[in-house]
């Protein structure tokens, strides 16, 4: 009896880990149906460019859009990042209390998180040639040593 319970628990764990929910953007209009058949009741049509939550499954995909839960057969989707994650897209972040090196305690507080910056190269190089360095110049306003 104990072996069967362990086997059922292991099977339940494997099945629950295999089903994942991710955010996607629709590439074209997607029709939501109430069941896994195109003959079933049509719930709504999701317009192009809207973000939806998708649970992966073979063939039909379970889609959540606003208050609608439905099925769609092989919808055209594109992966997107989680836009609700404030630490990546600006917003506020809750900071736990901590001790500094000098022994002072900082109480828990909220701070604004930095906005993401795109990488921009400092110098643009021409093709097959490199940027020329400026020659070294001594500062004009330097102090003379007094004896």
Domains of the chain, first to last: 19-79 (2.30.30)
pTM of the model: 0.43
Residue stretches of the chain with pLDDT short of 50: 17-19, 83-88
**59/56 Cα distance (integer angstroms):** 9
Q: In the chain, which ranges are E strands?
A: 21-26, 30-33, 42-46, 51-55, 60-65, 68-73, 77-79, 91-95, 98-99, 105-106, 109-113
How do residues 31-69 score in pLDDT, each as one tens digit? 999 988 888 999 999 998 888 888 876 778 888 888 888
Contact of 90 with 112, CB cutoff 8 Å: yes
What pLDDT, on a 0 to 100 scale, did the predictor assign at position 98? 92
Spatial CB neighbours of 130, under 8 Å, sequence gap ≥ 6? none
């Amino acid at each position: 009896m104990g072996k069967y319970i362990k086997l059922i628990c292991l099977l339940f764990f494997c099945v629950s880990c295999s089903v994942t929910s991710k955010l996607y953007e629709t590439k074209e209009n997607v029709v939501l149906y109430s069941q896994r058949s195109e003959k079933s009741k049509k719930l709504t049509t999701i317009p192009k460019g809207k973000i939806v939550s998708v649970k992966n499954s073979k063939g039909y995909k379970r889609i959540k859009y606003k208050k609608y839960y439905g099925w769609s057969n092989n919808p055209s989707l594109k992966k997107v990042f989680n836009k609700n994650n404030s630490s990546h897209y600006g917003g506020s972040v809750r900071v736990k209390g901590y001790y500094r090196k000098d022994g002072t305690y900082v109480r828990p507080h909220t701070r604004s998180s930095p906005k993401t910056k795109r990488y921009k190269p400092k110098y643009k190089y021409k093709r097959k040639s490199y940027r020329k360095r400026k020659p070294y110049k001594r500062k004009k306003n330097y102090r003379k040593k007094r004896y």
